[in-house]
């Protein structure tokens, strides 16, 4: 036997995380009676608000529901922002939400939506402070459903942490993910995912039909999904040239 | 480095990659080469590309693989998938990644049981100091030792196999010492003095619609108390004298390195996940494989980009190209050096070692779009002109490099 340069029973230096315990709030109302909120980890904020720190930031911004989409912008590293720059609805579909409320597909919208920057996010801060704070905003607003999106990889993790906080507060949630295995492993209660690049979770920029379809399908799934960790791939595909 | 400044590998790092060096030296290994793959932005394509790494490793009959990555977050999806693809083919695998606290894995799988974390900070975070969280000799040693351990555990017979050697290819690298650099009206090397033509910068800038201006300056050893824009790269000044990449003769200068920085008109720093603009002493971790040593002179090329071009692939690519145009003038002098004056003459070999452990490196590089891309096979070692982009050449699908091709500067970092 050749002499080895290593000792026996060496182990990884890294703790491998496992999926956290289930959190679940069943949806008990019809969609057209529900008050719906939206939170994105994709770094969306008002142009007048302080931009996020791209190396890691656990603060959040309140976005009034009547904000014109032209007044929103993105500050987020870790993925190509060009789609959001073309149309912020690709990450935070604020125009589509208002249309769905107007047509009566959903009952109403919460007075504020939430933007935060989940990239490189501090897990403890999101779990212990930011998540519960955002959950309280939606709970106090009387939300029945909150949808979420995330941008990059760690951003999906931060989004899922916040999603779990909201679900734990008694509001049904679903994440519209571009990287569904991250949401799954981090313990998202419900996951929808279309075939889109990171940054266009909610559909191709300026493609109103696709964005509406992804949003409607995701809302329907909130009631249809019966098990923690349910994941459904949505039949919409978009590729972009970068 | 505008992208994950402290964990990103520079062109200089690739040129003298510690893992490749170690694997080539280890006589018990039959080092197959380095399989580069990009990290796409679409989940399905991430899975597809990473899955191919497992297939190629099996086709090469690899006994084991080291999967190495210099980014994290969404790229860990690719990293995990590549490790899984290898593991499912019963190929022992060790991972090398920056993890720390901030980059804790967003996905894992059962095959990620052996990861070397090359975090170098007590807080475990991505910092804005270029070179700080990159692979060093010790990390490489750990990874190789762990992989051998894993292979022997799985295939005990391998430990007793006799190893023979067959040289496939030789690369001669001549190193020339430079002690003084001057900006001048012409480019020339006089003994240990490099004269660098400082004219024609506006003409070079004019070649690129993305570039407004180029500045050229020198940083002397010890000077560190000044502001720099976001660092795009560090590279060696090397030139091909004869032969194809990975063979023949290359020349490289010692005592001098190149730093490329950039900023947009209007002040936006081309950055993504932290920016390395700031005071030089706080933004560069000297003495790493990917950064100059403290005693070296730095040729500083600072590019002023048009507004918005610090956030596009074309703008970043243009900055690298323009810098390389500038360096190309010096390369003609480097090519013409008298071999008798070389302070080191190193011979690198691609060696087949039948009977040795067949080890493959799978290296994940940027290929996401926006600022994230990687260039392959430039005309000159560690250059940029003539190179292909990993996104355009192959849409991130694997590109194999022999150890000597890699050591001959055939990979250029773009972020």
Query: 3-class SS at A197?
Result: strand
User: Are A225 and A232 a contacting pair, CB within 8 Å?
Assistant: yes
Residue B26 has pLDDT above 60, yes or no: yes
Which stretch of A102-111, A117-126, B297-306 has the lowest confidence by average pLDDT? A117-126
* Length, in residues, of chain B: 415
- Given this model, what pLDDT does residue A31 score? 97
Separation CA B295–CA B286 (nearest Å)? 9
Q: Where are the domains of chain A?
A: 31-236
Q: Model ipTM?
A: 0.77
**Domain A31-236 bears CATH identifier 3.20.20.70:** no
User: Are A22 and A189 a contacting pair, CB within 8 Å?
Assistant: yes
Q: What is the pLDDT of residues B253-297, one digit of tens each?
A: 999 999 999 999 999 998 877 789 999 999 999 999 999 999 999
Separation CA B302–CA A38 (nearest Å)? 43
Instruction: Label residue A5 by pLDDT band (50, 70, 90).
Output: very low
Do B149 and A4 count as a contact with CB atoms less than 8 A apart?
yes
**At how many degrees (to 10) do helices B75-88 and A153-168 cross?**
100
- Given this model, what pLDDT does residue B6 score? 92
Which stretch of A79-88, B235-244, B358-367 has the lowest confidence by average pLDDT? A79-88
- Given this model, what pLDDT does residue A14 score? 58
Do A196 and B42 count as a contact with CB atoms less than 8 A apart?
yes
- pTM of this structure: 0.89
> What are the chain A neighbours of B42 within 8 Å (beta carbons)?
195-198, 239
The distance from CA B382 to its chain's CA centroid, rounded to whole angstroms, is 9
Cite the DSSP H helix spans in chain A.
Answer: 82-86, 94-103, 123-125, 131-140, 153-168, 180-185, 208-224
The dihedral sign for the CA sequence A89, A90, A92, A93 = positive
- What mean pLDDT, rounded, does chain A reach? 91
Tokens 């999806």 belong to which residue? B77
- Please give the interface size between A and B, counted as residue pairs whose CB atoms are below 8 Å apart: 141
Smallest Cβ distance to A80: which of B149, B160, B370? B370
Smallest Cβ distance to B146: which of A6, A82, A182? A6
Do B273 and A77 count as a contact with CB atoms less than 8 A apart?
yes
Which stretch of A108-122, B92-106, B127-141, B367-381 has the lowest confidence by average pLDDT? B367-381
Phi, psi values for residue A216, rounded to 5°: -65, -45
Question: Over pLDDT 90: what percentage of chain A?
Answer: 79
Q: What is the pLDDT of residues B100-153, one digit of tens each?
A: 988 889 999 999 999 999 999 998 888 999 999 999 999 999 999 999 999 999
What integer is the mean pLDDT of A65-81? 91
Query: How far apart are the CA of A4 and the nearest CA of chain B, in angstroms?
Result: 7
Closest-CA residue in chain B for A179? B43
What integer is the mean pLDDT of B241-254? 97
> What are the chain B neighbours of A123 within 8 Å (beta carbons)?
104
Q: What is the pLDDT of residues A150-180, one digit of tens each?
A: 988 899 999 999 999 999 999 999 999 999 9
């Amino acid at each position: 036997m050749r002499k080895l340069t290593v000792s026996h029973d060496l182990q990884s230096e890294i703790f491998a995380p496992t999926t956290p315990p289930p959190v679940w709030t069943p949806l008990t109302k019809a969609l057209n009676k529900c008050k719906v909120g939206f939170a994105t980890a994709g770094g969306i904020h008002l142009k007048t608000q302080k931009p996020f720190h791209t190396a890691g930031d656990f603060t959040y911004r309140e976005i009034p529901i009547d904000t014109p989409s032209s007044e929103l912008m993105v500050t987020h590293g870790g993925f190509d922002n060009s789609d959001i720059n073309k149309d912020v609805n690709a990450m935070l579909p604020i125009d589509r939400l208002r249309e769905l409320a107007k047509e009566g597909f959903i009952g109403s919208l919460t007075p504020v939506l939430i933007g935060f920057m989940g990239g490189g996010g501090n897990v403890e801060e999101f779990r212990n402070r930011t998540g519960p704070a955002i959950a309280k905003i939606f709970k106090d607003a009387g939300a029945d459903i909150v949808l979420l999106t995330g941008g990059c990889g760690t951003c999906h993790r931060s989004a899922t942490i916040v999603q779990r906080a909201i679900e734990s507060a008694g509001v049904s949630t679903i994440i519209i993910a571009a990287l569904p295995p991250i949401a799954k492993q981090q313990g998202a209660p419900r996951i929808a995912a279309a075939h889109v690049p990171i940054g266009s979770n909610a559909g191709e920029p300026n493609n109103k039909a696709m964005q509406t379809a992804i949003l409607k399908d995701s809302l329907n799934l909130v009631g249809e999904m019966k098990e923690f960790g349910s994941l459904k791939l949505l039949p919409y595909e978009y590729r972009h040239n970068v | 480095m505008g992208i994950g400044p402290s964990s990103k590998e520079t062109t200089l790092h690739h040129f003298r990659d510690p893992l490749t060096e170690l694997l080539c030296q280890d006589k018990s290994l039959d080092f197959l080469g380095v399989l580069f793959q990009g990290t796409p932005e679409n989940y399905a394509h991430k899975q597809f590309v990473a899955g191919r790494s497992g297939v190629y490793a099996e086709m090469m009959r690899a006994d084991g693989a080291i999967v190495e990555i210099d980014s994290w977050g969404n790229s860990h999806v690719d990293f995990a998938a590549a490790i899984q693809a290898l593991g499912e083919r019963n190929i022992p695998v060790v991972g090398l990644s920056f993890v720390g606290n901030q980059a804790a894995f967003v996905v894992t799988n059962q095959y990620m049981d052996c990861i070397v974390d090359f975090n170098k900070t007590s807080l475990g975070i991505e910092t804005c100091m270029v070179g700080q969280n990159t692979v060093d000799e010790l990390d490489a040693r750990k990874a190789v030792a762990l992989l051998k351990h894993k292979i022997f555990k799985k295939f005990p017979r391998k430990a007793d196999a006799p190893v023979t050697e067959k040289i496939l290819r030789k690369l001669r690298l001549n190193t020339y010492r430079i002690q003084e650099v001057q900006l001048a009206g012409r480019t020339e090397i006089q003994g240990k003095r490099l004269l660098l033509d400082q004219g024609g910068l506006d003409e070079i800038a004019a070649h690129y619609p993305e570039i407004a201006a180029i500045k050229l300056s020198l940083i002397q050893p010890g000077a560190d108390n000044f502001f720099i824009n976001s660092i795009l790269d560090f590279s060696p000044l090397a030139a091909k004298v004869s032969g194809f990449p990975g063979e023949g003769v290359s020349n490289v200068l010692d005592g001098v390195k190149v730093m490329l920085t950039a900023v947009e008109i209007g002040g936006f720093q081309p950055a993504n996940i932290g920016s390395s603009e700031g005071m030089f002493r706080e933004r560069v971790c000297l003495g790493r494989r990917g950064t100059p040593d403290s005693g070296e002179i730095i040729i500083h090329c600072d590019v002023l980009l048009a507004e918005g071009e610090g956030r596009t692939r074309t703008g970043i690519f243009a900055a690298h190209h323009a810098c390389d145009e500038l360096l190309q003038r010096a390369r003609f002098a480097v090519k013409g050096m008298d071999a008798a004056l070389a302070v080191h003459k190193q011979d690198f070999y691609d060696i087949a070692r039948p009977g040795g452990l067949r080890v493959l490196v799978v290296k994940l590089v940027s290929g996401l779009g926006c600022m994230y891309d990687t260039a392959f096979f430039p005309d000159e070692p560690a250059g940029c002109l003539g190179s292909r982009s990993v996104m355009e050449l192959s849409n991130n699908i694997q590109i194999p490099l022999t150890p000597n091709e890699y050591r001959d500067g055939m990979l250029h970092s773009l972020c």
